[in-house]
Amino acid sequence: MQADQPPSKNDRKLQQLKAISTRQQDKRALKQSQNLLQSVFDTSLIGVALHQAVRDEMGNIRDFRIMLVNKEVERVAGRTDLIGKLYSEEFPGIRIIGLFDVMLKVMETGQPGQLEYCYPHDNFDNWFSSMFVKMEDGLVATNMDITARKHAEAEKLDMLVSQNQKIFWATMDAQEIERKRIAENLHNGLGQLLYGIKLSLEQLDLNAIPINLPAFKSIKQDTNQLLTEAIAESRRLSHELTPTILEDFGLKEALSDVCDQLGHSNSLKIDCRFNGFFQRLSKPIETAIYRTVQELLMNVVKHAGASKAIVEVEVTVKAVNIMVCDNGKGFSKTYKNNGIGLKTIRNKVKLLGGKFTLTSGNGQDTVISIRIPYLRV
């Protein structure tokens, strides 16, 4: 057999040319594939990026290098020079808001991670939704600007709050009108009738009644006393239902009157303190604050068993701060969560856009603090 002849110089050159041609074709195919992939990415309305982990000597991830981004990422970022840059160096806010921690967790667990977040950093003030999926030693990230959706949700919530407040004010107005009607009926009806009976009893001539005069005198005195108490009670109820002092003299005087009445009639020492009452607030707000303080003090009188109470009402530029403190027995855990009186006050404060806090127990004074925003007249 004839031994294989070694390839000639021309054959070797031809093989080299074929190998070069094959590599060039592979490069062109790879380039075409990359261009096709980039085109697909660039047509997406969702931001897509590929991040490669950058590790230190111990193998810990210290950052991510941006390997690929689509046009949407460049549009949102306002930059075309992101490839090759370190993610947290270019956008340090991702560490502040916790996005970098989500990326590390995905790398550690291999489970996809997602986060909706507000990003008020690096010349942004937008809401985003980002998702990360692990791929080898990196992450594929998708990112959507959801600012418009968040604004729409906030507007919807504002509308709902506004509607609830309108319902609340309408309900309060209806309640005040009904209270005023009942108060007028008490004053003009029952009160006047009781007063007339008292006058009639006083006109009786005891000298004209010869039979059992001492007993009659005693009955007359007892009846007169009961009628006096009934008249006083009807006036008190009338005053509670429609506090004319609130309309005539303002919130500060009306609250002082509540403190005086409840304190004197129940052996409760109430210390009232007022700050910032330089001008009138809107009538609905004054009524709401008056009713709130009245209900809080009635709770103290009925349930606390306290000997001292402090009422502080402060009017600031944007809100009214209310604090009621007593040295009574405090609230049980059940009543804190389920008490009808407290629930009513909490709901009222919530509808007014305010904040309610309660501290009670462990031998400490019970303190209820309320902050209600308001508009001046």
Q: How far is Cα 231 from Cα 264, in angstroms, rounded to an integer?
A: 18
CATH architecture of the region 20-145: 2-Layer Sandwich (3.30)
Provide the H-helix boundaries in the chain: 9-43, 71-77, 87-90, 93-97, 99-109, 147-185, 192-202, 213-241, 244-249, 251-266, 283-299, 333-338, 340-351
- Look at strands 364-373 and 319-326 and give their pairing: antiparallel
pLDDT given at position 276: 87
| Upper half-sphere CA count for residue 373 (Cβ side, 13 Å) | 8
Residues 6+ positions from 191 with CB-CB distance below 8 Å: 231, 234, 235, 238
Paired residues of 61 in beta bridges:
55
Q: Which residues of the chain have pLDDT under 50?
A: 1, 377
CA-based end-to-end distance of the chain: 117
Angle (CA) 86 92 96, round 5°? 135
- Quote the pLDDT of residue 288: 83
pLDDT, position 377: 44
Looking up tokens 């692990």 gives 134
The full set of domain ranges for the chain reads 20-145, 149-242, 244-377
At residue 297, the pLDDT reads: 87
Query: Residue 60 contacts by C-beta under 8 Å, 6 or more apart in sequence?
Result: none
What one-character DSSP code corresponds to residue 92? T
190-199 residue pLDDT tens: 666 666 666 6
CA–CA distance, 354 with 275 (Å, rounded to integer): 19
- Reported as a single tens digit per residue, the pLDDT across 290-346 is 888 888 888 888 887 888 889 999 998 888 999 999 888 877 665 555 556 678 788
The yes-or-no answer to whether 20-145 and 244-377 have a common fold is: no
pLDDT value of residue 14: 64
Question: By C-alpha distance, which of 295, 181, 294, 297 is closest to 238?
Answer: 181
Q: Residue 208 has what DSSP assignment?
A: G
pTM of this prediction? 0.45
Q: CA 65 to CA 137: how far, in whole Å?
A: 11
Measured between alpha carbons, how far is 325 from 367 in angstroms, rounded to an integer? 4
**Tokens, residue 163:** 């509607």
What topology does CATH give the domain 244-377?
Heat Shock Protein 90 (3.30.565)
The residue to which tokens 């916790």 are assigned: 98
**Half-sphere CA count of 212, side-chain side, radius 13 A:** 5
